[in-house]
Amino acid sequence: MKKFKWVEHPIPLVFKRDELLACEFNINCKVPRPILSISKEFLILSNSFVIIRNLFLIPALISILYLCANELQDVYEAWKSSEKSTIHFIELRKKHYGDDYFDTLPENIKYKI
């Protein structure tokens, strides 16, 4: 079992606003992460959502778009294949039994093919 450690909780920056704005800084120096930029009015911090978006959400969106396009292409090809096989079936039946084959079939009777 670990020993209990007293840790110091961070103080929110809103409580240190005046102290932070009073500090003079060199414009040419580079600020450390997670601070993105400093001005007299704003202190801009990066958050973890940017990392999550770049690592997971953008690739997930691209893969979902790819899968949707692939599925639409499969549906289109299946539709065309079904049309071709139906037209072939109709032409074959008309050739074998005559042009009025479908007109002479009784309605509401199901046939096994």
Q: pLDDT tier at 25 (50, 70, 90 boundaries)?
A: low
Query: Distance between CA atoms of 60 and 36, rounded to whole angstroms?
Result: 27
* Per-residue pLDDT tens over the stretch 30-84: 766 677 777 777 777 777 777 777 888 889 999 999 999 999 999 999 999 999 9
Asked, for residue 40, whether it belongs to a domain, the answer is: yes
Counting the structural domains of the chain, the total is 2
Asked, for residue 18, whether it belongs to a domain, the answer is: yes
Asked whether residue 66 falls in the same domain as residue 102, the answer is yes
Asked, for residue 111, whether it belongs to a domain, the answer is: no
SS (H, E, C) 17-84: HHHHHHCCCCCCCCCCCCEEEECCCCEEECCHHHHHHHHHHHHHHHHHHHHHHHHHHHHHHHHHHHHH
* Per-residue pLDDT tens over the stretch 86-107: 999 999 988 998 888 878 777 7
Query: Distance between CA atoms of 41 and 11, rounded to whole angstroms?
Result: 20
Asked whether residue 66 falls in the same domain as residue 42, the answer is no
Asked whether residue 42 falls in the same domain as residue 67, the answer is no
The CA-atom distances, in angstroms, between 10 and each of 6, 13, 19 are 13, 9, 15
Q: Which two tokens stand for residue 37?
A: 């930029």
Asked, for residue 51, whether it belongs to a domain, the answer is: no
Asked, for residue 68, whether it belongs to a domain, the answer is: yes
Asked, for residue 112, whether it belongs to a domain, the answer is: no
Q: Could you tell me the pTM of the whole model?
A: 0.47
Residue 102 phi, psi dihedral angles, 5° rounding: -80, -20
Asked, for residue 77, whether it belongs to a domain, the answer is: yes
Q: What is the pLDDT of residue 72?
A: 97
> Which residue segment(s) compose the domain that 30 sits in?
10-46
pLDDT of 16 > 90? The answer is no
